[in-house]
Amino acid sequence: MTTIQADIRQVRPSEYRAVEELTRDAFWNLYVPGCDEHYLAHTMREHPDYIPDLELVALVDGRLVGSIICTSSRLVDPAGISVDTLTFGPLCVHPDYQRRGIGTALITRTRSLAEERAYPAIVILGDPHNYCKSGFRNCVDLNVSDPQGRHPLGLLVLPLRPDFFKAPKAYRFFYSDAYNLDPAKAAEFDAGFPPREKAYSHTQELFSMTCRAHLD
């Protein structure tokens, strides 16, 4: 498909609901029957780890078609020294505009802003197929693990300071507890949107495999 040029800017409070609707459209039945990412977008804005000026939207001809939301996270070395990192998600693009460069553009802008703020890395949980083209590497290659010392396939790191990972030092990654959702409250929130059918998709099986795969 042809790449589309989108206007990218910081979200406005008046667009919060539109972002939640967009997020629901993008994730519905993708990873599980239904989705809860729109509830995550709603709740994380009240969390202290949410970074307001790093919630960005992409617009095409004035239509909001993409969104990325960022939180603070951290890497902890064996001595217990913590270093702030950046994590994004949900990142979404409306189904009508996917695979046309909008998600990549949102990542590129976020990376530029993260570099300006001297973050050593962006660390996410995601599908490698979607993020390796933007420079993300698996955590095992940079000696980063999850809190249990494992190396999940979907734990991805984008180095922003090349010297940071040169030292022979292991890090454990801790993302914000903003991502810990109450399923009952998520279902209650979703009830405020137009009804949609929850259904099985093969992408749900791929997601399950990715979540369970570890490079250990």
Q: What is the CATH number of the domain that holds 88?
A: 3.40.630.30
Q: Which domain holds residue 73?
A: 7-177+200-212
At residue 179, the pLDDT reads: 97
In a domain, residue 189? The reply is no
In a domain, residue 190? The reply is no
In a domain, residue 37? The reply is yes
Q: Minimal CA–CA distance to 210: which of 133, 126, 140, 137? A: 126
Beta bridge partners of 71: 50, 87
Mean pLDDT score across all residues of the chain: 96
Kindly provide the residue ranges of all beta strands, DSSP E only, lying in 126-214, ordered along the sequence: 137-138, 144-145, 155-159, 171-174
In a domain, residue 1? The reply is no
Whether omega for the bond prior to residue 162 falls within 30 degrees of 0, making it cis, is no
CA distance 168 to 202: 40
Q: What is the mean pLDDT of residues 169-175?
A: 94
For the chain, the domain total comes to 1
Say if residues 147 and 120 touch (Cβ distance below 8 Å).
no
Beta bridge partners of 157: 123, 137
In a domain, residue 38? The reply is yes
Distances (CA, A) of 96 to 4, 35, 63, 93: 12, 18, 12, 8
At residue 168, the pLDDT reads: 72
Tell me the pLDDT tens digit for each residue of 23-76: 999 999 999 999 999 999 999 999 999 999 999 999 999 999 999 999 999 999
In a domain, residue 87? The reply is yes
Predicted structure pTM score: 0.95
In a domain, residue 204? The reply is yes
In a domain, residue 58? The reply is yes
CA distance 61 to 4: 11
Residue 169 pLDDT > 90, yes or no?
A: no
* β-bridge pairing 171-174 and 144-145: parallel
